[in-house]
Structure 1
Amino acid sequence: MDFGLVLQTDPPASRVVELMKRAEDRGFTYGWTFDSAVLWQEPFVIYSQILARTERLIVGPMVTNPGTRTWEVTASTFATLNDMFGNRTVCGIGRGDSAMRVAGRKPNTLARIQQAMEVIRDLAEGREADLGESRIRIPWIKDGSLPVWMAAYGPKALAMTGAKADGFILQLADLYLTEWMVKTVKDAAVEAGRDPSEVTICVAAPAYVTEDDSPEALAHAREQCRWFGGMVGNHVADLVSKYGESSDAVPEELTDYIKARQGYDYAHHGRSGNPDTAFVPDEIVDRFCLIGPAQAHIEKLSRLRDLGVDQFALYDMHDAKESTIDAYGSTVIPAVNA
């Protein structure tokens, strides 16, 4: 199983670069960041510094979207990094929850995401692509490679991921939901005439390693990770508005917990102590995240691997960034990949 580190690009950028370098030194192979232009610093500028300071780390956004950047610029940016550092990027793409809403726009439609995935990948790999009003090719790209992984929760998005994307990003680590969604994606791949093993499966969630499993330690870890249930809840709320509170299309195990949700202020997005996530119960934190002593992480990750997960991407937005990276490097990663 591969392991990735996910960070927000808060200033100073040097801090992001240092943590990514630390992660590579500890055995992580992917470095991901949020991409929301108003809330955080520009990730692609920082990627160049991460790539320059590391040797093997593959970097990319978790996730970009097709609405805040023109597609040819996105493709050219990835291709430039690949030309400089040797095909070490991956494009995570989604609807643009925070990036679009903070800018006063609605998240992108699935149709737009599908078109953007195809155009960005073709252009970044040196092929001609249709921009709508013209067909173009970036002439200087040679031997380009850009896997495009799609973030999804709902049935139509999962089906499109299986049919069109190179990878699937699932932003939660619940075992039941992971099994259900991975099966949905792989079934869609088969239906589209693809080999389902060609779709890389990436589970992304916060991880917090405690010294023991005392009630006090677990309670602190939960408070540090509760923000994640609120972030996921934004997407779940969209699904509920589309499919209803009770639907065969979306499992209740995903939708039930947002009934007490009152709203969301993106000023606290992705941060521990987010006041808009008080509605998230401890059960959801335990299901969606990985908390507890290292052995608890090893056991859950082993079960995720058995469900077909190829990568675990660790959201490291809490008060134990370095110690979590170090615990994964010294104990968790070696044990899972023994």
Structure 2
Amino acid sequence: MDFGLVLQTDPPARLLVERMTRAEGAGFSYGWTFDSVVLWQEPFVVYSQILAQTERLIVGPMVTNPATRTWEVTASLFATLNDMFGNRTVCGIGRGDSAMRVAGRKPATLDRLSRAMHAIKELAEGREAEVDGTAMRFPWVSEGAALPIWMGAYGPRALALTGRQADGFILQLADPYLTEWMVKAVRQAAVEAGRDPAEVTICVAAPAYVTADDSPEALAHAREQCRWFGGMVGNHVADLVSHYGEHSEMVPEALTDYIKDRQGYDYRHHGRSGNPDTAFVPDAIVDRFCLIGPVEAHIEKLEHLRSLGVDQFAVYAMHDAIESTVDAYGKSVIPALA
């Protein structure tokens, strides 16, 4: 199992670069960031610094979208970094949540996302693609350039698109039941498209908070530090409920039930511990969606996820114990599962 670290591009960028360097030293192989340029700094500028100061770390957004940049610009950003540092990027992409909504726009359609994924990959790997009706190709891309496209998804149509087209699947929650359900949907879609389902990389991303023990006080603090994640996932779940209904057979109630008391969401607090819009998230959801507790609890849950086909676990580290969590994973968790 590979491991990634997910951070927001808060200033100062120097601190983020230092934390990514620390993560590589601890055994992490991927460095991810959010991509909402109104809320945080531009990630692609920061990626160049991370890549320059690490040796093996692969970097990318979790996730970008097909609307805030034109597709050829996105492809050129990745292709330039790969030319400079040797195919050390991955394009995590989805319909767009915070990046679109904070700017007053709606998330992209799945059709637009599909076309964008195709164009970005083709251009970044040196082939011709069509963008807005115009065929184009980057003449400067070197032979052997490679850009994996990993798609974030929850709903049935998005999961099917992931299986048909994407190189990887990003699932932003660590609940074993939902992971099994969604991985099965992605793999089934891959089979139906004539693909080898084993070729679709499975990445689970969720907050991880390592505590010294499993005392009620330690677990309560960890839950409060990670409760924001249930609110973030709830934005996507609310979209699914709006589209499919509250009790649809298309979407597991294990995913949708918990948002019944959701009142709204202010993106100024997006991805932050202490987010006031996440009071509706119960402890049980925090425990299911995240990894909290002593090291042994993390290892046990990750072994379960690995048995379900998960290839990478990406640690969301938006809490008050970033460095200690990275260090604990490097010392105990990664060696147990790598």
Distance 1:14 1:150 in 2: 28
Question: How far is the alpha carbon of 1:134 from its aligned partner?
Answer: 1.2
Q: What is the match of residue 54 of structure 1?
A: 54
Residues 73-102 of structure 1: CA distance to partner in whole angstroms, max 9, x if unpaired?
Answer: 100110000000000000000011000000
Give the partner amino acid of 1:24.
Answer: E
Q: What is the match of residue 167 of structure 1?
A: 168
- Gaps spanning 5+ residues in structure 2: where? none
- Map 1:144-293 onto structure 2 (within 5 A): 144-293=145-294
Distance 2:305 2:133 in 1: 44
Return the TM-score normalized by structure 2. 0.99
Distance 1:299 1:77 in 2: 38
Give the partner amino acid of 1:310.
Answer: D
Distance 2:81 2:125 in 1: 12
Give the partner amino acid of 1:52.
Answer: A
Give the partner amino acid of 1:297.
Answer: H
Residues 258-298 of structure 1: CA distance to partner in whole angstroms, max 9, x if unpaired?
Answer: 00000000000000000000000000000000000000000
Question: Secondary structure of 1:3's partner?
Answer: strand
Question: Secondary structure of 1:327's partner?
Answer: helix
Question: Secondary structure of 1:204's partner?
Answer: strand
Distance 1:50 1:26 in 2: 15
Question: Secondary structure of 1:206's partner?
Answer: strand
Residues 231-282 of structure 1: CA distance to partner in whole angstroms, max 9, x if unpaired?
Answer: 0000000000000000110000000000000000000000000000000000
Question: How far is the alpha carbon of 1:305 from its aligned partner?
Answer: 0.2
Question: How far is the alpha carbon of 1:133 from its aligned partner?
Answer: 2.1
Question: How far is the alpha carbon of 1:132 from its aligned partner?
Answer: 3.1
Distance 1:323 1:66 in 2: 35
Q: What is the match of residue 112 of structure 2?
A: 112
Residues 125-156 of structure 1: CA distance to partner in whole angstroms, max 9, x if unpaired?
Answer: 00000113210000000121100000000000
Question: Secondary structure of 1:67's partner?
Answer: coil
Residues 147-193 of structure 1: CA distance to partner in whole angstroms, max 9, x if unpaired?
Answer: 00000000000000000000000000000000000000000000000
Q: What is the match of residue 69 of structure 1?
A: 69
- Map 1:36-47 onto structure 2 (within 5 A): 36-47=36-47
Question: Secondary structure of 2:170's partner?
Answer: strand
Q: What is the match of residue 85 of structure 2?
A: 85
Distance 2:234 2:326 in 1: 26
Q: What is the match of residue 25 of structure 2?
A: 25
Give the partner amino acid of 1:173.
Answer: A
Distance 1:13 1:131 in 2: 32
Q: What is the match of residue 140 of structure 1?
A: 140
Runs of 4+ aligned residues of structure 1 deviating over 3 Å after TM superposition are: none
Distance 2:271 2:134 in 1: 39
Question: How far is the alpha carbon of 1:336 from its aligned partner?
Answer: 1.7
Question: How far is the alpha carbon of 1:7 from its aligned partner?
Answer: 0.2
- Gaps spanning 5+ residues in structure 1: where? none
Question: Secondary structure of 2:204's partner?
Answer: strand
Q: What is the match of residue 333 of structure 1?
A: 334
Distance 1:85 1:132 in 2: 30
Q: What is the match of residue 128 of structure 1?
A: 128
Residues 183-218 of structure 1: CA distance to partner in whole angstroms, max 9, x if unpaired?
Answer: 000000000000000100000000000000000000
Distance 2:172 2:5 in 1: 13
Number of positions where the alignment pairs a residue of Structure 1 with one of Structure 2:
337
Residues 5-50 of structure 1: CA distance to partner in whole angstroms, max 9, x if unpaired?
Answer: 0000000000110000000000000000000010000000000000
Distance 1:65 1:108 in 2: 8
- Map 1:290-309 onto structure 2 (within 5 A): 290-309=291-310
Distance 1:126 1:278 in 2: 48
Give the partner amino acid of 1:123.
Answer: L
Distance 2:337 2:49 in 1: 30
